[in-house]
Amino acid sequence: MTRYLPYLLVGVLFGFVLIKSEAASWYRIQEMFHFQSFHMFGIMFSAIVTAFVTTQIIKRMGQRKAMDGQSIEIPEKPAGRISYIAGGVVFGLGWGLIGLCPGPVFALAGAGSVGAIVVLAGALHGTWLYGALKHYLPH
């Protein structure tokens, strides 16, 4: 059990930040898509820069081991284009409507929103639908 504890703690921090940053707010997402505030863009840019700098440091340190003994490697996404764009558009359409992407769905459900649980139920059905239709979709 204890080997899962770090994931739990980092997950708690993530959920806490999503609420405190208001990234889990429908209003903030509308404000972002209408370019009415720098807030969400600032979050995204500073998150990407932080992750970029820290992963570059990890790369340059050479061979390092994770806490569980595995060597750290930054995984590559499979090559492709159509599935990334088409999937992104479908996801974006949903995100613009409900203002919640998967991380904030879990955080907001924890904050007691019944609506977020309905979104989660929908997202699970959508995921299942993709799995069932995968072979018929262009990738």
Restricting to residues 36-75, name those near other proteins by CB under 8 A: 36-40, 42-52, 54-55, 57-58, 66-68, 70-75
Contact residue for other proteins among 21, 60, 63, 136 (CB under 8 A): 21
Regarding 2 and contact with other proteins (CB under 8 A), the answer is no
The residue assigned the tokens 């991380």 is 103
DSSP run (H or E) holding 89: helix 82-98
User: Amino acid identity, residue 31?
Assistant: E
DSSP state of 76: P
- The distance of closest approach from Cβ of residue 135 to other proteins in the complex, given in angstroms and rounded to an integer, is 9
Which of positions 78-107 make contact with other proteins (CB under 8 A)?
78-81, 83-103, 105-107
Q: Minimum Å distance from CB 59 to other proteins? A: 9
Choosing from 2, 22, 60, 62, the residue that interacts with other proteins (CB under 8 A) is 22
The backbone torsions φ and ψ at residue 81, rounded to the nearest 5 degrees and listed phi first, read -145, -55
Q: Where do we find the tokens 């390092």?
A: 64
Q: How far is the CB of 139 from other proteins (least distance, A)?
A: 8
**Shortest Cβ 62–other proteins spacing (Å):** 14
Question: Measured between alpha carbons, how far is 135 from 87 in angstroms, rounded to an integer?
Answer: 14
By CB under 8 A, residue 131 contacts other proteins: yes
Alpha-carbon span 113 to 5, nearest angstrom:
26
**Residue 109 near residue 117 (C-beta atoms within 8 A):** yes
Report the nearest approach of other proteins to the CB of residue 138 (Å): 10
